Chains A and B, each alone.
Chain A
Amino acid sequence: MATVDASVWIAAQDLADPFCVQSRLFFSHTVAAGILIHVPAFARVEVACALARKLRNSVQAERLANLILKTANAKEHPVSAALLAKAVSVGTTKFLRGADAMYSATADLVGCELVSLDKEHLQRAEALTPDDWLLANP
């Protein structure tokens, strides 16, 4: 299991991204191993919107976001009261941005590692890059 930040989902879809290859390798590994990926439900929004801003095409962006989340075994967690409470606790303790706190809280509640390319996740929330996660989970 792992919780995966929007940055990794998005990097995997964009060959121009310097982290595209490692993000694709990460998902190739998790899919081949049948590993469930946990995300807060709004991850779909973040992924779709960032792809739309890049593609300038809402239909294509939504399709790509839905496709990668489905194909890579994403389990979407509703933004519940428990998740919000945990996010407030984690976010204020680690000085995270709101959206980042939601991913960190999801990882904490599920009891798995957070995989991210976000600098603050990596520095303050014990997140692993896709490469580091692959090294730790051969």
Chain B
Amino acid sequence: MKDLVTDGLRLALQPEVTATGSARAAAARKLTACFAEADKLMKSAPRGPTAREHLNEGRNRLNKA
């Protein structure tokens, strides 16, 4: 009986786990595409401070690399 319940739970949960994994894989692909688009746009950006330096401009408190 215990095995039946366990198997039932496993089967019930499996599609959800698969769907979640699939959704996360799709999200990971979208993130990669997002970074690729950023790289493409940044290539044509004017030379000068980084975007984060613009954020912190004037505060002089960047966490230096």
Q: Give the interface of A toward B (CB within 8 A).
A: 6-7, 10-19, 24, 27-28, 31-34, 46, 50-51, 53-57, 60, 64, 67-68, 71-73, 97, 117-120, 122, 129
Contact = CB atoms under 8 A, between A and B. Distances in A.
A28 B31 contact: yes
B56 interface: yes
Interface in B11-43: 20, 23-24, 27-28, 30-31, 34-35, 37-39, 41-42
A6 B41 contact: no
9 contacts: A12-B38, A28-B28, A31-B28, A34-B20, A55-B51, A56-B46, A57-B41, A71-B30, A71-B31
Interface residues of B, number: 29
Nearest to B27: A31
Contact of A13 (B20, B24, B38): B38
Given A31-B24, A31-B31, A119-B62, A13 B54 contact: no
Given A54-B42, A56-B46, A67-B37, A32 B24 contact: yes
Q: Of residues B23, B41, B56, which shows the largest number of chain A Cβ atoms within 10 Å of its Cβ?
A: B41
A18 B51 CA distance: 11
Interface of B: 20, 23-24, 27-28, 30-31, 34-35, 37-39, 41-42, 45-46, 48-52, 54-56, 59, 61-63, 65
A12 B46 CA distance: 18
A14 B63 contact: no
Contacts of A6: 55
A89 B45 CA distance: 39
A68 B37 CA distance: 10
What are the nearest 4 A-B pairs in CB distance? A18-B65, A54-B51, A53-B54, A50-B55
